Structure 1
Amino acid sequence: MKFLEGSKLYSIFTGTCPVCHAESMYKESNPYKIHRVFEMHEHCSNCGTKYKIEPSFFFGAMYVSYAVGIAFAVAAFIITYLFVGSDLITSFWAIIGTLVVFMPVIIRLSRNIWINFFLHYKPNAGKN
């Protein structure tokens, strides 16, 4: 992923600070520790960026999670129905299974995408 460093995609896929790309925004890097999936640092320890820009800032991520969930569902359908050759009922269950299994990843991805709409990479952020 180092080849993407300096782009929004790097911050989105790695969950790092969107301004300096030096530190993870999340207290727990594993999204499958469900009880800690929403726990984020208040500020970046490298550049001081405040992640929760305003109260209820990440409510907007719910709209993004809908789009990301649809992308995962479409991918599951294409793989099971078109590539594997399953019937529609099996494809339907594959979509449900995919959404349940990947829900923590979808939550994190949607938060990463949402914050990257508002904050931008600064190469010298946090350097004195």
Structure 2
Amino acid sequence: MLKGTKIYSIFTGTCPRCHKESMYQTKNPYVLSDVFKINDNCSKCKLTYRLEPSFFYGSMYVSYGVGITFSVIAFLMSYLVFETSLMTAFIAIVITMIVFGPIIMRLSRNIWINLFVSYDKNLAKK
């Protein structure tokens, strides 16, 4: 349904140009030994994922925003919805950041590369 959009590529971790294969060697972000391992290029459209040396360092800036979003949601859920104390809300934020750390990292990388590479519907048809 969303194939062909940046949202699809961001949430599935697929190639931002053709959406045909995963950018990551291991799809599961909780395999911590492989969380940073990304394929060199797409086997379908030949897009090189590392557009330049140290390309994904820029995703650290995106990671900050994504982490803040997760933290705010954890705070609002614990403090306002479950009406816990501030200390419990803080603990909820810390636990959220630990549990969702690999997902935040992958989402940030996906967002970063999608800022620079657009979907090509002609490649998707091949």
TM-score w.r.t. the length of structure 1 is 0.96
**Deviation, structure 1 residue 127:** 5.2
Out of 65, 68, 90, the position equivalent to 1:67 is: 65
Please give the secondary structure, in 2, of the residue aligned with 1:100. helix
- 1:47-58 paired onto structure 2 within 5 Å: 47-58=45-56
Aligned to 1:88: 86
Out of 99, 102, 118, the position equivalent to 1:101 is: 99
Asked if 2 retains the 8 angstrom alpha-carbon contact of 1:19 and 1:120, the reply is yes
| Structure 1: gaps (5+ residues) | none
Output the amino acid matched with 1:73.
Answer: S
Distance in 2 (CA, whole Å) between partners of 1:105 and 1:93 is: 19
Aligned to 1:7: 5
Q: Cα deviation per residue 1:74-113 (whole Å; 9 max; x = unaligned)?
A: 0000000000110100000000000000000000000000
- 1:6-25 paired onto structure 2 within 5 Å: 6-25=4-23
Output the amino acid matched with 2:78.
Answer: T
| Structure 2: gaps (5+ residues) | none
* Superposed CA RMSD: 0.9
TM-score w.r.t. the length of structure 2 is 0.98
Distance in 1 (CA, whole Å) between partners of 2:119 and 2:76 is: 35
Q: Cα deviation per residue 1:41-85 (whole Å; 9 max; x = unaligned)?
A: 101000000000000000000000000000000000000000011
Asked if 2 retains the 8 angstrom alpha-carbon contact of 1:31 and 1:37, the reply is yes
- Aligned residue-pair number: 126
